[in-house]
Chains A and B, each alone.
Chain A
Amino acid sequence: MTTSDLAPIEASVASAPRRGGRPTTGRRSGVRLAPYLFAGPAVVLYVVFMLIPVLYAIWLSLRAYRLQAGGTFGRRVEVFVGLENYVAVLSDPELLASFGRLAIYGLIAVPLTLGLALLFALLLDVPAVRAKRFSRTAIFIPYAVPGVVAALMWGFMYLPSTSPFSYLTEQAGWGPIPFLTGSGLFGSLANIAIWGGVGFNMIIIYTSLRGIPDELYEAARLDGANELQIALRVKIPLVGPAILLTTVFALIGTLQLYGEPMTLKPMTNDISQTWAPLMTIYRDAFLTDNLPAAAASSTILALGTVALSLLILGIVNRKRFGARS
């Protein structure tokens, strides 16, 4: 941007206070104040509801409740323990195991959610398809169902005595489907996420598809491409950024898995209290009165999520950069 581009804006901003009858000496300070006033509310909200809580959580993660003499059983008081909570959290084999469970869940849920979302978006974008608006809404509606409601509803469909699927298999003499036991659990949990997530991801990809100029399709058709070839060779490469965005969302969503296993937990013995990392954090904070450990785990999980997101974006960007050069 050149100086000449900026000039009119600066002039108009500068002229505003003068029109309000301010003395000319206030001109400069008025120019400086305005951006702060505009940014002020956002900054205050950010500091109060993000920065301070985050810093407090980090501070809390360096502390612990320890016993001091006095009273019948002694008194637990808060003391500074340095990185002890981090050592305890990181050396807990259950944490690693819970990330392992998330990985299995993610390997099922993420590709299927994104694959189906892309498939539906491409199908909706085919010119000959009818009842587009209806289909789009129908696919999107599960996303509007609150997560806990969805998990409860699926929970009923998984429990042997209330499940319509198990009813059919039982009638056929095969016994109930083990939705909530053993490794069946991963598929059952992933299914809830896929059911709820496909619509949302489809809308993002579909919106991106609508932004592709028609000239490109025209050119492709003139070159003799059919709809399938257009989809594979033109549409998918061009919605790459949208797919990347939804991938990052889906991975972060996987790390934050909480509502579904928590809601299904009372229905099965196979979901432990430490099944997912966020469930461990909940347990530490609200059941076993170990807020500092919960704060330490939260910090680690947050850093891990940021690192994972940056890693994915980095890999993709390098690839694209490499492809261009």
Chain B
Amino acid sequence: MRSRLLATGATLVLLGAGLTACSASSGSGSDGPVTLDFWGWGVGYEDVIEEWNDANPDIQVKHTDAGGGDESSAKLLTASRAGNAPDLALVEFTTLPAMIVADVPLDITEYVSDIDDAFTSGTWDQTRFDGAVFGIPQDVGPMALTYREDRLAELGIPVPTTWEEFGAAARAVKEKDPNSVLTSLPASELGFYAGVAAQAGSQWWSIEDGVWTVGIADEASLEVADFFEALVRDGAISTEPLLTPEYNAKLNEGTMLSWPAGIWAGGVFYGVAPDTAGKWAMSPLPQWTPGDTKVAYQGGSGMIVTKGSEHPEEAAEFAKWFNASDEGNKLLLDSRQVYPASSIGQEMAAESEPPALMPQQTDFYQTAADISSETIPVTWGPNVNLAKSVFEDQLNKAIADGTPWRDAFAATQKAVVDDMKKSGYEVAND
């Protein structure tokens, strides 16, 4: 029994060693085919790899699913420290800065000059810092509102275009059908709260001349906190965890009416409530100021070439083909089933069929393209995962104890600033 406990420490340590087996990158460089290891999560890689490998006998790619965003990045850090990182990896935009300070991704600016036009400047900013490109964007999640078209119509509630209308809609839902709720926005959704705070003009992280500023508790963010706190306190919206059996049951019953999130939300819902297809629709995310059109990204990822790769040029070649070529984007849409980050991919999407959850919304991808044309550039800090963890615990505590959400935002800011100062960053906050 005691040994099991001691083994906990041992497991942490041995993890790095265990990963060695996964990433034996071979190839002697000058002659013979090169083999690239690639870590990525999600579906549909078989088609991608097959198509590339058939066309490029000299650059063979081997795909490994190393777990979703969080797990994959933790493993990537460990493998990288142990000198066993794959040549290529998919990394969430939120964790890319943490990867950069851990010296995982290679600066690939020299390899990507020929695909400068493939992405909008706002999209490049997700992987480009101070002019240095550390990854090629793959998919993006511009924020939108995915909602039950039939239920809102039945209750006579118009689709909200501003957050004020959203609040009014939430209260109206409660009044007209107490069993239903407009949405649930739990504390685990740091990405959502960061996104709507960015809409309100806040920058949760920003860097200038090497000095960081953290704005999780700036005035704009605190007002956002007040707004959602009031809705939760009145019982107009819920904070129950997402995608639990409980939540999924409500989706299927038609008592959970919307999810403001990345435009990928429809795909997630289709996975847990396929029978409700045709009853949903997607519209632009509500705005703080009527008439505004800007939204932030929630989610999205890019492909990096690791510093340890022996074949960075070939690796960058594959990443460019996968994310910036016609062929690659077709695969991203059809096989990977993500919303491509590239302009050609989004144009391609505009002509394709709407997603399975809303087959009746023929202008889905046109709306998506309109939304993505104007996004707010968001800088993620080097310790987003810490922020996520503290934010979730603090906000849940505030909700449970009935203390102000402002305090939870302030506590998160303090923890983030303290951690950055301890690590040695220059931070402008007190």
Name A residues whose Cβ lies closer than 8 Å to a Cβ of B: 49-50, 53-54, 56-57, 60, 65-68, 71-76, 155-156, 159-162, 181-182, 248-249, 252-253, 255-256, 266-270, 272-274, 278, 281, 283, 285-289, 291, 294-295, 298-299, 301-302, 305-306, 309
Contacts and interface: CB of A to CB of B under 8 A. Distances in A.
A266 B241 contact: yes
A270 B187 CA distance: 11
B5 interface: yes
A149 B385 CA distance: 28
B100 A256 contact: no
B389 A305 contact: no
Q: Which 6 A-B pairs have the closest CB atoms?
A: A53-B10, A67-B424, A57-B9, A298-B9, A272-B393, A288-B386
A64 to B, nearest CB: 8
B268 interface: no
Nearest to A275: B393
A312 to B, nearest CB: 13
A274 B101 CA distance: 26
B250 interface: yes
B427 to A, nearest CB: 11
A61 to B, nearest CB: 9
A288 B416 CA distance: 11
Contacts of B12: 57, 281, 285, 291, 294-295, 298
A68 B2 contact: no
Given A54-B10, A269-B399, A301-B5, A287 B74 contact: yes
Contacts of B397: 272
B10 A269 contact: no
B369 interface: no
A286 B385 CA distance: 10
A49 B10 contact: yes
Contact of B250 (A161, A287, A302): A161
B30 interface: no
A65 B80 CA distance: 14
Interface in B1-40: 1-10, 12-14
Contact of B132 (A49, A72, A269): A72
Nearest to A301: B5
25 contacts: A50-B7, A50-B10, A53-B9, A53-B10, A56-B13, A71-B100, A72-B129, A72-B132, A73-B97, A76-B101, A156-B245, A159-B244, A252-B5, A253-B1, A266-B244, A269-B187, A269-B239, A272-B396, A272-B397, A273-B393, A286-B70, A289-B77, A298-B8, A302-B9, A305-B2
B4 A256 contact: yes
Nearest to A270: B400
Given A252-B5, A298-B12, A269 B400 contact: yes
A57 B102 contact: no
Contact of A161 (B77, B101, B245): B245
B227 interface: no
B13 A53 contact: yes
B347 to A, nearest CB: 31
B241 A268 contact: yes
Contacts of B385: 287-289
B103 interface: yes
Given A53-B13, A67-B424, A305 B5 contact: yes
A289 B15 CA distance: 14
B186 interface: yes
Contact of A72 (B130, B241, B383): B130
A299 B102 contact: no
A302 B400 contact: no
Contacts of B74: 285-287, 289
Contacts of A159: 244-246
Contacts of B424: 66-68, 74
Contacts of B350: none
B309 to A, nearest CB: 17
Nearest to A74: B101
A66 B423 contact: yes
Interface string B375-406: 00000001101101100110011011000000
B425 interface: yes
Contact of A278 (B8, B98, B210): B8
Contacts of A306: 2
B115 interface: no
Contacts of B154: none
A281 B8 contact: yes
A269 B423 contact: no
B54 interface: no
A289 B5 contact: no
B250 to A, nearest CB: 7
Contacts of B114: none
B240 interface: yes
B249 A162 contact: yes
Given A253-B1, A272-B393, A306-B2, A72 B249 contact: no
B209 to A, nearest CB: 12
A56 B7 CA distance: 12
Nearest to B8: A298
Given A162-B249, A288-B385, A289-B385, A269 B425 contact: no
A54 B424 CA distance: 29
